[in-house]
Structures are given as structure tokens and as C-alpha cells.
Structure 1
Amino acid sequence: MKRGIKMTEKEMKELALAEGFTEAEIIETEELTFIHSLRACCEANECGNYGRNYACPPDCGSPEAMEARVRQYRKALVLQTVQQVDDIMDSAQTKEAKKFHNMISWELIGRLREEGLEGLPVMAGPCSACAVCAKTEGKPCRFPEKIASCLSAYCIHAADMAEKCGMDYWCGRSRVAFFSIYLFN
């Protein structure tokens, strides 16, 4: 496909599957459910990034601002990987699975952008463009073009999204599902 020619939705999904995703579906952004009270999960700071990562709360914006950012786009390419693990409670294994998911998400996004499809990425977990976020050093973001907040920061109801896409959300104790989204018009 030549640069500047828009890909069809079918081609986007086929490319996602070829890049290693388990499932890929496109839905209208109006189908995404936002639950602003999910912000409490971020505020509990279980991942340790609250106030320490520019893509995380409170720096990323209020739940209302995050929803408004998503609503500027009409479509969402929902990407899923389902990976085998010994036990989903093994944080080292799930961390590696999430790292793989985000890596292929960025690779796909790069390909889509090369084809002229600009959009907004929403990733699985906090932004990891840098090993240590410049926020912790009191410096501006080093790679503002690579910053990406996660589904939790956007307060997107992931289980509802998965159901609307015909994807499994809960895959048992030995398989883990991760999701990312690429928003576009």
C-alpha cells in the first residue's frame, strides 16, 4: 500500500492479526463505556505511577478531559493479545506479557502512521517510552509524541469493551488478556 492511501478497516484488522494480535476489532468510540469512578483505582496507586508518570493521573487530565479526548475520534481499533502464563498472579510473567503486548501495539501503530492514519494510542498499563519518566526528575516529557495513557487512566470499562468486540476479558488463571486501542477518524 502506498503512503497516504487510507487502509480499509478490514486491512487494518488483517494487519493487526499478522503483527501478532489474538483479536482485532473496530468499533465506534460512542460504544466505549467510561466509568469515571474507576479513577479511584489510579489514585490508590497500586502500580506506583500516580503522580510519577506524565501519562498517568493526575497529570494526564481529569476523567472528563480524558473522555473528551477519546470522543474527538470516531473509531477505535481494539487490539487484544491472549498469552499463556503459569499463573496470572505471577507479576513477573504478566509484566512480560504486557510488555510484549505494548511492543507489538507500538509496532502496529507505527505501520498505521506510515500509511497516513494518524490517531491516539491507548495502551495496556502506564506509558513506558522511557525507563524512568522525566516527571520524577522534574523535567518535561522527553518524547511527547510517544506518550500514551492506559485504559485505566481514561476510565474505559475494559470488560464492557471486550464484550462489545466479541473478545474474552477473563481467560482463566493460566492465560492473560491485554488490550490497547488506536483511536482514529
Structure 2
Amino acid sequence: MTEDGIMELAKNEGFTNVAVIPADKLVFDRELRKYCEENVCGNYGKNYSCPPFCGTPEEMRDRAGKYGRAWIFQTIADVGSWDNRRKLVEVKADHNRRSRNLIQMLREEGVDGLPMLAGPCEACGTCKGFSGEACKYPEEAPSCISAYCMKAELMAEEAGIPYWCGEGVVAYFSLYLV
């Protein structure tokens, strides 16, 4: 599939911005892992796509380093206020649903790659990591950009798309490395 074809599929899926950059332009910073370890989102050690299950920062960087191009899919939405938790969750869930749909379409077209979503895998609703059971979908459990310790602001800058969008406006990112 051509880059124009991927761009068209992504735009049809409803993303605000779509960009592609060389994967070697992605910047990783081991120090970002501390945010996962602080467990602000509540998934550390409870979701197989999150640390420590997903791998060390070095393993994550090496996994991403096997690819040449980084497709970036972005959703920008006005949520009114950063305190509007319900709207934030709703917009992120919709972004990730569209990301999974797009990635499935690309795979069906023979475009294999490494997906990264805005937040941890939610394929099971409640991850089996909470109970210690084996992952039901180990090949379909994408980690988030944060788990990769990627500097999303630098990625957005390299791609020429916004990172900070103003008060009450959120920007969610997904990637597909090919």
C-alpha cells in the first residue's frame, strides 16, 4: 500500500492530523519511565501492555528501532475543561477504537508494523494482568507511547503537528511503525 493510500485511510477514519516521519527521528528517554512507575494511570504492574510487563525502556526502544517509518495519527478535541474526566476518557476511547480499526485495515492490506496507542491495551476490558492470568491476545496488546518512553512533544514537532492545543483541548496520538 502506498503512503497516499495510508494517508487516505487514516483521514477517512476521522483523524485530525496524519503524518509520517522517519522512525529514527523518534526520541526515547529512559527517565520518562518514572511516570509509569508512579502509577498515575493505575496500570503499572496490572496491564500486560504496561511496565514492567512490556519490557525495559531499552527493550522498548530496540523494538521500535527495527522499523523505518513512523505513522502518526492524531485526534484533537475540545473537552471544555481538563477536569472533565468523562469527556477525556470518551475521546481517548474513540481515538483508540479508530486507531485499532485503521491498524486492522492496514494489516489486511499487508502493511505489518508495530502499533502504539494512547494508553494501554484494552482488548479485554480488564486486563488479565490484574488477576495474574495469561494474556489472551499477546500479539494484539499494543503498549502506549508512554511505555516506550518516547518524547511525544518532539515527535509532534518533527511531524509538524500540534502537541499543546490550548486550554481544555486535548491531543491524543497513536503510532504505527512500519
Please indicate the TM-score interval, normalised by the length of the shorter structure. over 0.9
- Whether 1:72 aligns to 2:66 is yes
For 1:142, the equivalent position in structure 2 comes to 136
For 2:160, the equivalent position in structure 1 comes to 166
For 1:44, the equivalent position in structure 2 comes to 38
For 1:3, the equivalent position in structure 2 comes to none
1:90 to 84, 90, 102: 84
Letter of the structure 1 residue corresponding to residue 126 of structure 2: V
For 1:35, the equivalent position in structure 2 comes to 29
SS in 1 for 2:147: helix
CA distance in structure 1 between the partners assigned to 2:40 and 2:175 by the alignment: 22
What is the TM-score of this pair, normalised by structure 2? 0.97
CA distance in structure 2 between the partners assigned to 1:164 and 1:88 by the alignment: 26
Residue segments in structure 1 that go unaligned for 5+ positions in a row: 1-6
SS in 2 for 1:152: coil
What is the TM-score of this pair, normalised by structure 1? 0.94
- RMSD, matched Cα: 0.8
CA distance in structure 2 between the partners assigned to 1:59 and 1:134 by the alignment: 12
SS in 2 for 1:167: coil
Shift of 1:88: 2.5
- Whether 1:123 aligns to 2:95 is no
Aligned residues: 178
Give % identity.
Answer: 48
Moved over 3 A (4+): none
